[in-house]
C-alpha cells in the first residue's frame, strides 16, 4: 500500500506513536442496484409482453369436420349451394346437393363475376342455407383457404367441407377438359 511505509516512520525517528488513521486516497464506489429499479423492471416487462401479445392475435376460422368417412348433407337439398374446387383455382358450382348429369348444369366461375357475388345472390334467394365445398385432390391449400375466407366475408356461417363423389369427379374432369 502506498501509505504503509509511513506507519513506521515514528520508530525510525524515535518519536512517540501517534494515533492517526490513514485512509486510502481514492475509494472505489460499490455498485448497488436499487430495489426501486428492480421492482420497475419486474412490473414493466410483463406488461410489455402482455400488450405485445394482444396486438399479435391470430385470426382463426373454426372448422369442424365429421368423424366418419361418409357425410350426410345438412339442410334442404334444393336450397344448398355446392362448390367444386378444381385444379388451378378453378371454381365450379351447382344448386342443390344432387350432382348434375350434364356438364351444362355445372356453372364455372368467371373472372368478371367472382364467387363472392354468386354466393351473395344465392343468399338473397335462399337465405342462409348450407354451402357445400368439395375440394378435389388437385385443389391447392390456398384455394381452400381463399374459399373459406370468401364465405367468412359474406357472412355465410353454415358450410360443410366434403369429399367429392365419383359423379362429381367425372363431371369436373369433363368440364376441365373442354
Digit-coded pLDDT (tens) for 59-79: 676 766 666 555 554 545 667
Please indicate, yes or no, if residue 59 is contained in any of the structural domains.
Answer: no
141 CA to centre of own chain: 15
77 secondary structure, DSSP code: G
1 CB-near residues (< 8 Å, 6+ apart)? 24
The side-by-side arrangement of strands in the sheet containing 131-135 is 107-108, 91-95, 81-85, 131-135, 159-161
Surface-to-core class of residue 95, CB atoms within 10 Å of its CB (0-12 exposed, 13-18 middle, 19+ buried): middle
Q: How far apart are CA 118 and CA 111, in angstroms?
A: 12
As given in the structure block, the three cell numbers for residue 145 are: 383457404
Q: Which of 26, 7, 4, 5 is nearest to 17 (CA)?
A: 7
Please indicate, yes or no, if residue 9 is contained in any of the structural domains.
Answer: yes
Please indicate, yes or no, if residue 71 is contained in any of the structural domains.
Answer: no
Please indicate, yes or no, if residue 60 is contained in any of the structural domains.
Answer: no
Which pLDDT value is given to residue 14? 61
**Strands, E assignment, 37-108:** 81-85, 91-95, 107-108
pLDDT over threshold 80, residue 137: yes
Please indicate, yes or no, if residue 101 is contained in any of the structural domains.
Answer: yes
Please indicate, yes or no, if residue 45 is contained in any of the structural domains.
Answer: yes
* Ramachandran angles phi, psi of 160, nearest 5°: -135, 145
Same domain, 93 and 171: yes
pLDDT over threshold 60, residue 143: yes
pTM: 0.57
pLDDT over threshold 50, residue 148: yes
- As for how many domains the chain has, the answer is 2
Same domain, 158 and 101: yes
State the residue range of the domain holding 40: 4-52
Please indicate, yes or no, if residue 72 is contained in any of the structural domains.
Answer: no
Same domain, 111 and 167: yes
71-115 pLDDT, tens digit per residue, is 554 545 667 888 988 887 788 888 877 777 777 778 888 766 788
Amino acid at each position: 500500500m502506498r501509505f504503509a511505509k509511513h506507519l513506521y516512520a515514528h520508530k525510525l525517528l524515535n518519536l512517540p506513536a501517534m494515533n492517526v488513521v490513514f485512509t486510502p486516497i481514492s475509494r472505489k464506489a460499490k455498485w448497488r442496484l436499487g430495489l426501486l429499479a428492480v421492482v420497475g423492471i419486474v412490473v414493466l416487462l410483463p406488461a410489455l409482453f402482455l400488450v405485445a401479445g394482444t396486438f399479435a392475435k391470430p385470426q382463426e376460422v373454426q372448422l369442424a369436420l365429421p368423424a366418419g368417412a361418409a357425410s350426410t348433407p345438412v339442410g334442404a337439398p334444393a336450397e344448398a349451394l355446392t362448390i367444386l374446387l378444381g385444379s388451378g383455382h378453378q371454381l365450379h358450382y351447382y344448386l342443390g346437393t344432387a350432382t348434375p348429369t350434364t356438364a351444362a348444369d355445372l356453372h364455372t366461375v368467371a373472372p368478371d363475376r367472382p364467387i363472392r357475388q354468386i354466393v351473395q345472390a344465392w343468399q338473397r334467394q335462399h337465405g342462409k342455407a348450407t354451402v357445400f365445398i368439395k375440394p378435389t385432390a388437385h385443389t391447392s391449400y390456398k384455394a381452400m383457404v381463399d374459399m373459406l375466407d370468401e364465405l367468412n366475408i359474406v357472412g355465410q356461417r353454415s358450410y360443410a367441407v366434403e369429399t367429392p363423389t365419383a359423379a362429381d369427379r367425372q363431371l369436373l374432369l369433363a368440364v376441365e377438359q373442354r
